Structure 1
Amino acid sequence: MEDNRENLKKILNESGDYSVVGSLWIEYNEEKFFGPGRIELLQHIDETGSISKAAKEMKMSYKKAWNMINELNSQTRIPFVILKTGGKEGGGAVLSEAARDMIVYAQELRMRFQEFLKIETNKFKKDFFQTF
């Protein structure tokens, strides 16, 4: 491992302006289940009460938003988005408490992940750019 680091020191730029980065999402049966895009969509639905308005705010087609919601709802025992039928006040959509709980959990997970990336960036810089 030490020889490997010495070789890498010779090929990395001396500026040391490197960062360890990564993407984070939760998978279910090897398919994307919960990540930044779905969290944002759910938050917009929560704010607007509408899948259509949420999709517009994200510059996403209604069909794509609808498919994301259907996938989310099919991957859980409790639906994340509950549809309200039309009528005098029109239809709409609301988030279940399960969705809100999952958003909070995912945000906490993201903070831990960001901390991990920060630690690994510092370790990388220490391994390759710290002078003694």
Structure 2
Amino acid sequence: MKPLRVRSKVWLEADGEPLLGDGREQLLRLIDELGSINAAAREMGLTYRRAWSFLQAMEDKLGVPLLRREKGGPGGGHSALTPTARELLEKYDRLRDGLNLLIDRKFADIFALQEDPPAAPRPK
């Protein structure tokens, strides 16, 4: 048998709706890095409108702002994560890392110690 690997996805929900997963996490991190919703959206291949809708949905579900926004002008606007958004990402990282560790251990317990079954005799 070829070697197997385990993969899992973790996301947070609020009121049964997605709140934070891989895509929205990446969006927040890119906004933090690039200082712009538009630049982050472009980097991800999203329209500004789609990125904005993700952000607005997250803020509505949490009831707190995740971004501090400065409107554009001659020098352009700027967006930065709020302390709440940074804390959310930090907790999400800890959750995902902890779950991955547990999943890897469980996988090793179940799959890594298994040996290939003996080959069945071939009919003559």
Q: Secondary structure at the match of 2:45?
A: coil
Question: Identity of paired residues, percent?
Answer: 27
CA positional deviation for 1:69? 0.6
CA positional deviation for 1:80? 0.6
Q: 1 CA distance for matches of 2:8 and 2:15? A: 21
Structure 1 unpaired stretches of 5+: 1-14
CA positional deviation for 1:36? 1.5
Q: Which residue does the alignment assign to 1:70? A: 56
CA positional deviation for 1:53? 0.2
In the alignment, which of 4, 16, 30 is matched to residue 44 of structure 1? 30
The structure, 1 or 2, with the larger RCO (C-alpha pairs under 8 Å, 6+ apart) is 1
| TM-score (normalizing by structure 2) | 0.83
Q: Is the 1:16–1:125 Cα contact (8 Å) retained in structure 2?
A: no
Q: 2 CA distance for matches of 1:32 and 1:129? A: 40
In the alignment, which of 86, 90, 95 is matched to residue 100 of structure 1? 86
Specify the code of the residue in structure 1 equivalent to 2:44. M
Relative to structure 1, the CA distance from residue 88 to residue 61 in structure 2 (aligned partners, 3 Å threshold; closer, same or farther) is closer
| TM-score (normalizing by structure 1) | 0.78
Q: Is the 1:24–1:35 Cα contact (8 Å) retained in structure 2?
A: yes
Specify the code of the residue in structure 2 equivalent to 1:32. P
Instruction: Tell whether 2:87 aligns with 1:110.
Output: no
Q: 2 CA distance for matches of 1:48 and 1:127? A: 45
* Structure in which a larger fraction of residues adopt helix: 1
Instruction: Tell whether 2:6 aligns with 1:20.
Output: yes
Structure 2 unpaired stretches of 5+: 118-124
Q: Which residue does the alignment assign to 1:91? A: 77
Specify the code of the residue in structure 2 equivalent to 1:95. L
Q: Which residue does the alignment assign to 2:15? A: 29
Q: Secondary structure at the match of 1:63?
A: helix
Q: Is the 1:84–1:92 Cα contact (8 Å) retained in structure 2?
A: yes
**Deviation per CA, 1:8-64, whole angstroms, max 9, x where unpaired?**
xxxxxxx26223321100111111111111111111111111100001111222121
Q: Which residue does the alignment assign to 2:122? A: none
Q: Secondary structure at the match of 2:62?
A: coil
Instruction: Tell whether 2:119 aligns with 1:129.
Output: no
Q: 2 CA distance for matches of 1:118 and 1:16? A: 18
